[in-house]
Amino acid sequence: MLNAFYIDPVGGSSVSWNDFLSQISHKKNVNLNFKTENNYHLFLELACALVHGFDFELVDAEWSEEEYMRVSGRSYVPTSYPCKPVEISKIDDLISKFKQSNSKIIFYSSGTTGAPKKISHDFGAITRFVKFNSVKKQCWAFTYSPTHMAGVQVLFEVLGGGSTLIDLYQKSRDVTLGAFEKYNITHISATPTFYRLLAPYNFTIYGVKRLTLGGEKSEETLLTNLKRSFPNAKLNNIFAMTETGSLFSSHGEGFIFKAGLEKVCKIQNGALFVNKEFIGKIGKDRIQEEWYNTGDLVEWIDKKKGTFMFVSRDSDCVNVGGYKINLIEVEDSIRSIEGIQDSRVYAKANSVLGTIIGADVLKDIKTSITSKYIRDELKRTLQEYKIPRIIKLVDHLDRTRAGKLKR
């Protein structure tokens, strides 16, 4: 009897690997643009599409007809095709079918330019850094949206390792912390926003072996807190894009521009560029130049050694009274204040100054921090013109479906 493949800690549903493989083997039709809030059903349809060589379109369950029309250019019509039963009795059989598949997985992403794009990748491109080993038997926390690149990559880590997936997508802090212990989760991959929502870090989890952060810039304060609460975990920082998949990884804020990446990426005028040929199909058809500006701003830590760090995105920089302000820098300074859980800094139109900076701040429940206290603390780390004119204490900060801070 194989171990569990999928567990929902709230709904209570659990699917063993035996049942999962059996359902794939006996499928009589495959839904190719499955719109559902049931993550397991989505995973099953995606796996079946790959096995039978069908292209699979990832459609967000929350999209309205208008939203789908806007990103896809057409009305949403559920599509399915009949398929013949296929014998898949072992995990290795499933992995073999995936590797042989010519299927394309289609994503919709606002990407790095802000304009909605349709991007397709084959299995090889998405699993470029996945090490297939059906006896790894790891236990993964699933925290990303199942219709986004990061979520699909975690799914393939689980599928490729014969592992267990604990569905923690959009679950509460209490459910999440309880699941870490109850299911002996060994691997967590999530956005920095997800990890910040675990605050206060008044817990210690010894069973987690690896923490991966991706999708947003992570600050040193967060990394320090995670190292303390997950003392046995190795930290891995990932930079990835829907257009390309994973590009860089590190164990801290610094990344290494390894030899051989020159044909794929380059850093020019403080920005990261990716070669058009490395972009997923369909998306690259809209790119006119050979090199694609990702919009991500970087700084060299040591150019000779090829080490650099991501600073922010160009869209995160605004002009206020003639001064250029990096909103991410201000957010990091606010988060470094003890008792602060997270922050969203934004630019707001002003009739006198043109633009002013505001901040929504989420503090730890047990602290009595005030806006004045935050402003006084910021004077220690920021120049006066960078300190937000408006500081509002809030009960929550909205997140996107991808698990990032909503801006």
* Among 61, 53, 32, residue whose Cα is nearest residue 44: 32
The total of structural domains in the chain comes to 2
Task: Judge residue 235's burial from the number of C-beta atoms within 10 Å of its C-beta, 0-12 exposed, 13-18 middle, 19 or more buried.
Answer: middle
Domain-located, residue 206: yes
Average pLDDT, the chain: 86
Residue 404: DSSP 8-state:
S
Residues 62, 186, single domain; the answer is: yes
**Residue 362 belongs to a domain with what CATH number?**
3.30.300.30
Give per-residue pLDDT as tens, 249-276: 777 777 887 777 777 888 888 888 888 7
Which residue segment(s) compose the domain that 221 sits in? 4-236
Q: Pick 19 or 120 by higher pLDDT.
A: 19
Q: Which of 179, 201, 236 is the last residue of a domain?
A: 236
Domain-located, residue 270: no
Give the pLDDT band (50/70/90) at residue 246.
confident
Residues with Cβ < 8 Å from 341, sequence gap 6 or more? 196, 197, 199, 200, 335, 362, 363, 364
Domain-located, residue 22: yes
Residue 283: DSSP 8-state:
G
Residues 198, 73, single domain; the answer is: yes
Residues 227, 334, single domain; the answer is: no
Domain-located, residue 385: yes
Residues 99, 213, single domain; the answer is: yes
Lowest mean pLDDT among 278-282, 356-360, 366-370: 278-282
Check residue 360 and give its pLDDT. 95
Q: Which of 236, 252, 272 is the last residue of a domain?
A: 236
Residues 202, 104, single domain; the answer is: yes
Residues 66, 179, single domain; the answer is: yes
Give per-residue pLDDT as tens, 156-208: 999 999 999 999 999 999 999 999 999 999 999 999 999 999 989 999 999 99
Which ranges of 101-148 does DSSP label H, i.e. alpha helix? Answer: 123-126
**Residue 71 belongs to a domain with what CATH number?**
3.40.50.12780
Domain-located, residue 377: yes
Domain-located, residue 146: yes
- Does the pLDDT value for residue 103 go beyond 90? yes
Domain-located, residue 136: yes
Q: Which of 236, 266, 294 is the last residue of a domain?
A: 236
- Does the pLDDT value for residue 281 go beyond 50? yes
Give per-residue pLDDT as tens, 129-143: 788 876 677 999 999
Domain-located, residue 255: no
For a pLDDT cut of 70, what percent of the chain falls above it? 94
Give the global pTM.
Answer: 0.79
